Amino acid sequence: MSTLVNSDWLPISLPLELSADVVHVVRLKLDLPPEHWLPFSDVLSEEERQRAARFRFDEPRRQFVTCRGTLRKLLGSLCRISPNAIEFQYGPHGKPGLMVRQADSRISELQFSVSHSGSLGLIAVSVGKAVGVDVEEFSPAVKHHQLAERYFAPPEAQELKRLPAELQLSGFYRGWTCKEAYIKALGTGLSHSLSSFQVTIDPARPASLCHIDGKPREPDRWTAMALDVGARYAAAVMIAEPNCRVQCWDWSAT
Protein backbone atom coordinates (compact mmCIF):
# COMPACT_ATOMS: atom_id res chain seq x y z
CA MET A 1 0.00 0.00 0.00
CA SER A 2 1.22 3.52 -0.74
CA THR A 3 0.16 6.79 0.86
CA LEU A 4 0.64 10.44 0.17
CA VAL A 5 3.14 12.58 2.05
CA ASN A 6 2.06 13.39 5.60
CA SER A 7 2.94 16.98 6.52
CA ASP A 8 0.48 17.71 9.33
CA TRP A 9 2.60 17.98 12.53
CA LEU A 10 0.56 18.71 15.65
CA PRO A 11 1.80 19.80 19.10
CA ILE A 12 2.32 16.64 21.13
CA SER A 13 0.34 15.91 24.28
CA LEU A 14 1.48 13.05 26.51
CA PRO A 15 0.57 10.31 26.98
CA LEU A 16 -0.35 9.48 23.39
CA GLU A 17 -3.54 7.53 22.75
CA LEU A 18 -2.46 4.06 21.64
CA SER A 19 -4.46 2.26 18.96
CA ALA A 20 -3.82 -0.85 16.89
CA ASP A 21 -4.52 0.96 13.62
CA VAL A 22 -2.49 4.13 14.30
CA VAL A 23 1.26 4.65 14.27
CA HIS A 24 2.59 7.76 16.00
CA VAL A 25 5.61 9.58 14.59
CA VAL A 26 7.27 12.25 16.75
CA ARG A 27 9.57 14.92 15.31
CA LEU A 28 12.19 16.54 17.52
CA LYS A 29 14.74 19.27 16.99
CA LEU A 30 18.35 18.40 17.74
CA ASP A 31 20.01 21.80 17.27
CA LEU A 32 19.28 22.79 20.86
CA PRO A 33 21.33 24.98 23.21
CA PRO A 34 23.01 23.12 26.12
CA GLU A 35 20.42 24.25 28.66
CA HIS A 36 17.74 22.45 26.61
CA TRP A 37 19.44 19.17 25.76
CA LEU A 38 21.70 18.53 28.76
CA PRO A 39 18.71 17.89 31.09
CA PHE A 40 17.85 14.84 28.97
CA SER A 41 20.94 13.21 30.51
CA ASP A 42 19.04 12.94 33.79
CA VAL A 43 16.78 10.18 32.41
CA LEU A 44 19.56 8.15 30.77
CA SER A 45 21.01 4.97 32.21
CA GLU A 46 24.58 4.93 33.45
CA GLU A 47 25.62 2.95 30.36
CA GLU A 48 23.98 5.55 28.10
CA ARG A 49 25.70 8.42 29.90
CA GLN A 50 29.04 6.67 29.46
CA ARG A 51 28.28 6.15 25.79
CA ALA A 52 27.44 9.84 25.37
CA ALA A 53 30.70 10.83 27.07
CA ARG A 54 32.68 8.81 24.52
CA PHE A 55 31.59 11.05 21.63
CA ARG A 56 34.48 13.35 20.78
CA PHE A 57 32.32 16.10 19.28
CA ASP A 58 29.31 17.96 20.64
CA GLU A 59 26.97 17.35 17.68
CA PRO A 60 26.78 13.52 17.85
CA ARG A 61 26.67 13.69 21.66
CA ARG A 62 23.76 16.16 21.50
CA GLN A 63 21.94 14.00 18.93
CA PHE A 64 22.31 10.85 21.01
CA VAL A 65 21.35 12.40 24.35
CA THR A 66 18.34 14.26 22.91
CA CYS A 67 17.00 11.28 20.94
CA ARG A 68 17.52 8.72 23.70
CA GLY A 69 16.22 11.04 26.40
CA THR A 70 13.10 11.88 24.37
CA LEU A 71 12.54 8.20 23.62
CA ARG A 72 12.71 7.37 27.33
CA LYS A 73 10.25 10.12 28.22
CA LEU A 74 7.87 9.06 25.46
CA LEU A 75 8.00 5.35 26.36
CA GLY A 76 7.85 6.12 30.06
CA SER A 77 4.62 8.05 29.56
CA LEU A 78 3.14 5.16 27.56
CA CYS A 79 4.28 2.50 30.04
CA ARG A 80 3.32 4.70 32.99
CA ILE A 81 6.71 4.24 34.61
CA SER A 82 9.65 6.53 35.20
CA PRO A 83 11.78 7.19 32.07
CA ASN A 84 14.79 6.05 34.12
CA ALA A 85 13.14 2.66 34.67
CA ILE A 86 12.87 1.85 30.97
CA GLU A 87 15.10 -1.06 29.97
CA PHE A 88 15.92 -2.02 26.41
CA GLN A 89 16.65 -5.35 24.80
CA TYR A 90 18.28 -5.81 21.41
CA GLY A 91 17.61 -8.21 18.55
CA PRO A 92 20.31 -10.25 16.79
CA HIS A 93 21.00 -7.36 14.40
CA GLY A 94 20.82 -4.64 17.03
CA LYS A 95 17.18 -3.56 16.72
CA PRO A 96 16.11 -2.13 20.10
CA GLY A 97 12.91 -3.04 21.87
CA LEU A 98 11.33 -2.75 25.30
CA MET A 99 11.92 -5.37 27.96
CA VAL A 100 8.46 -6.92 27.90
CA ARG A 101 8.42 -7.60 31.65
CA GLN A 102 8.51 -3.83 32.19
CA ALA A 103 5.46 -3.01 30.13
CA ASP A 104 1.88 -2.74 31.26
CA SER A 105 -0.17 -5.60 29.79
CA ARG A 106 -2.03 -3.16 27.56
CA ILE A 107 1.13 -2.14 25.74
CA SER A 108 3.26 -5.29 25.93
CA GLU A 109 3.33 -5.25 22.11
CA LEU A 110 4.75 -1.73 21.93
CA GLN A 111 7.33 -1.33 19.14
CA PHE A 112 9.39 1.69 18.12
CA SER A 113 12.00 2.98 15.71
CA VAL A 114 14.36 5.96 15.96
CA SER A 115 16.31 7.92 13.36
CA HIS A 116 18.20 11.19 13.30
CA SER A 117 20.12 13.26 10.78
CA GLY A 118 21.38 16.82 10.90
CA SER A 119 19.19 18.81 13.23
CA LEU A 120 16.12 16.52 13.15
CA GLY A 121 15.15 13.30 14.88
CA LEU A 122 12.14 11.02 14.41
CA ILE A 123 10.60 8.42 16.72
CA ALA A 124 7.88 6.06 15.48
CA VAL A 125 5.75 4.06 17.93
CA SER A 126 3.28 1.29 17.11
CA VAL A 127 1.27 -1.41 18.86
CA GLY A 128 1.49 -4.99 17.64
CA LYS A 129 3.16 -4.28 14.31
CA ALA A 130 6.70 -3.81 13.06
CA VAL A 131 7.60 -0.20 12.24
CA GLY A 132 10.67 1.51 10.84
CA VAL A 133 11.41 5.19 10.34
CA ASP A 134 14.27 7.01 8.64
CA VAL A 135 15.23 10.65 8.12
CA GLU A 136 18.12 11.97 6.02
CA GLU A 137 19.48 15.47 5.55
CA PHE A 138 20.26 16.25 1.90
CA SER A 139 23.93 16.49 1.01
CA PRO A 140 24.64 18.09 -2.40
CA ALA A 141 28.00 16.31 -2.37
CA VAL A 142 26.47 12.84 -2.23
CA LYS A 143 27.22 10.78 -5.34
CA HIS A 144 23.67 9.66 -5.69
CA HIS A 145 23.96 7.87 -9.03
CA GLN A 146 26.97 5.86 -7.89
CA LEU A 147 25.23 4.90 -4.65
CA ALA A 148 22.05 3.97 -6.51
CA GLU A 149 23.99 1.77 -8.94
CA ARG A 150 25.67 0.04 -6.02
CA TYR A 151 22.79 -0.41 -3.57
CA PHE A 152 19.46 0.02 -5.39
CA ALA A 153 17.73 -2.59 -7.52
CA PRO A 154 18.42 -2.01 -11.25
CA PRO A 155 14.85 -0.76 -11.98
CA GLU A 156 15.21 1.81 -9.17
CA ALA A 157 18.55 3.06 -10.49
CA GLN A 158 17.00 3.40 -13.94
CA GLU A 159 13.99 5.25 -12.53
CA LEU A 160 16.35 7.68 -10.81
CA LYS A 161 18.20 8.38 -14.08
CA ARG A 162 14.93 9.12 -15.87
CA LEU A 163 13.92 11.81 -13.41
CA PRO A 164 14.46 15.47 -14.35
CA ALA A 165 17.86 16.66 -13.14
CA GLU A 166 16.30 18.90 -10.48
CA LEU A 167 14.46 15.93 -8.91
CA GLN A 168 17.27 13.40 -8.90
CA LEU A 169 18.75 14.28 -5.52
CA SER A 170 15.36 14.25 -3.78
CA GLY A 171 14.50 11.06 -5.70
CA PHE A 172 17.60 9.36 -4.37
CA TYR A 173 16.75 10.33 -0.80
CA ARG A 174 13.11 9.26 -1.25
CA GLY A 175 14.35 5.81 -2.22
CA TRP A 176 17.03 5.66 0.45
CA THR A 177 14.75 6.63 3.35
CA CYS A 178 12.05 4.17 2.27
CA LYS A 179 14.60 1.38 2.01
CA GLU A 180 16.18 2.20 5.38
CA ALA A 181 12.74 2.39 7.03
CA TYR A 182 11.83 -1.03 5.62
CA ILE A 183 14.93 -2.87 6.82
CA LYS A 184 14.67 -1.13 10.20
CA ALA A 185 11.10 -2.42 10.51
CA LEU A 186 12.34 -5.92 9.68
CA GLY A 187 15.18 -5.58 12.18
CA THR A 188 17.64 -7.20 9.78
CA GLY A 189 20.09 -4.30 9.51
CA LEU A 190 22.89 -4.45 6.96
CA SER A 191 22.40 -8.19 6.55
CA HIS A 192 19.45 -7.41 4.27
CA SER A 193 20.35 -6.48 0.69
CA LEU A 194 18.92 -3.12 -0.35
CA SER A 195 18.64 -4.40 -3.93
CA SER A 196 16.37 -7.32 -2.97
CA PHE A 197 13.27 -5.11 -2.86
CA GLN A 198 12.01 -2.04 -4.68
CA VAL A 199 10.38 1.22 -3.58
CA THR A 200 9.08 4.28 -5.39
CA ILE A 201 11.89 6.64 -6.37
CA ASP A 202 9.99 9.52 -7.96
CA PRO A 203 9.34 12.08 -5.16
CA ALA A 204 6.29 13.34 -7.04
CA ARG A 205 4.56 9.95 -6.56
CA PRO A 206 3.27 8.43 -3.31
CA ALA A 207 5.80 6.39 -1.36
CA SER A 208 5.35 2.69 -2.02
CA LEU A 209 6.90 -0.71 -1.39
CA CYS A 210 6.63 -2.06 -4.94
CA HIS A 211 8.37 -5.41 -5.07
CA ILE A 212 10.15 -7.95 -2.84
CA ASP A 213 12.22 -10.68 -4.45
CA GLY A 214 10.54 -14.06 -4.04
CA LYS A 215 7.53 -12.60 -2.22
CA PRO A 216 5.13 -11.19 -4.83
CA ARG A 217 2.25 -10.60 -2.39
CA GLU A 218 4.28 -9.30 0.54
CA PRO A 219 4.17 -5.57 -0.44
CA ASP A 220 0.37 -5.64 -0.06
CA ARG A 221 0.66 -6.06 3.70
CA TRP A 222 2.77 -2.92 4.20
CA THR A 223 1.93 0.76 4.58
CA ALA A 224 4.56 3.16 3.24
CA MET A 225 4.47 6.90 3.84
CA ALA A 226 6.81 9.75 2.99
CA LEU A 227 6.99 12.41 5.71
CA ASP A 228 7.41 16.12 5.05
CA VAL A 229 9.73 17.01 7.94
CA GLY A 230 11.25 20.19 6.52
CA ALA A 231 13.22 21.66 3.64
CA ARG A 232 16.35 19.75 2.57
CA TYR A 233 15.27 16.59 4.39
CA ALA A 234 13.64 13.34 3.32
CA ALA A 235 11.88 10.94 5.67
CA ALA A 236 9.73 7.84 5.47
CA VAL A 237 7.95 5.34 7.68
CA MET A 238 7.21 1.70 6.88
CA ILE A 239 4.60 -0.32 8.78
CA ALA A 240 3.93 -4.06 8.56
CA GLU A 241 0.18 -3.55 8.31
CA PRO A 242 -1.96 -2.38 5.36
CA ASN A 243 -4.19 0.68 5.60
CA CYS A 244 -2.48 1.94 8.74
CA ARG A 245 -2.95 5.57 9.74
CA VAL A 246 0.02 7.73 10.70
CA GLN A 247 -0.33 10.55 13.25
CA CYS A 248 2.52 13.07 13.28
CA TRP A 249 3.51 15.03 16.39
CA ASP A 250 5.97 17.85 17.04
CA TRP A 251 7.91 17.42 20.30
CA SER A 252 9.27 20.98 20.21
CA ALA A 253 5.82 22.21 21.21
CA THR A 254 6.25 20.68 24.70
| Alpha-carbon separation of residue 34 from 43, 97, 120, 125 (angstroms) | 16, 28, 16, 27
Instruction: Give the long-range contacts of residues 139-142, CB within 8 A, separation 24 or more.
Output: 140/169, 142/169, 142/172
Q: What would the mean pLDDT of 218-245 be, rounded to a whole number? A: 95
Q: What angle do CA 161, 169, 4 make, to 5 degrees?
A: 95
Grade residue 91 by pLDDT with cuts at 50, 70 and 90: confident
pLDDT, position 95: 84
Q: Who's near 181: CB < 8 A, 6+ residues apart?
A: 113, 115, 132, 133, 134, 224, 236, 237, 238
pLDDT in tens, 129-156: 999 999 999 998 999 999 999 999 999 9
The rounded mean pLDDT for the chain is 91
pLDDT, position 5: 58
pLDDT, position 92: 84
CA 65 to chain centre: 17
Residue 99 has pLDDT above 80, yes or no: no
Grade residue 101 by pLDDT with cuts at 50, 70 and 90: low
Q: Does pTM surpass 0.85?
A: yes
pLDDT in tens, 17-46: 988 899 999 999 999 999 999 999 999 999
pLDDT in tens, 157-168: 999 999 999 999
Instruction: Give the H or E element holding residue 149.
Output: helix 144-151
140 versus 232: the higher-pLDDT residue is 232
Closest CA to 187 of 92, 87, 109: 92
Grade residue 103 by pLDDT with cuts at 50, 70 and 90: low
Domains and CATH numbers, the chain: 2-253 (3.90.470.20)
- Strands 120-127 vs 110-117: parallel, antiparallel or unpaired: antiparallel
pLDDT, position 227: 97
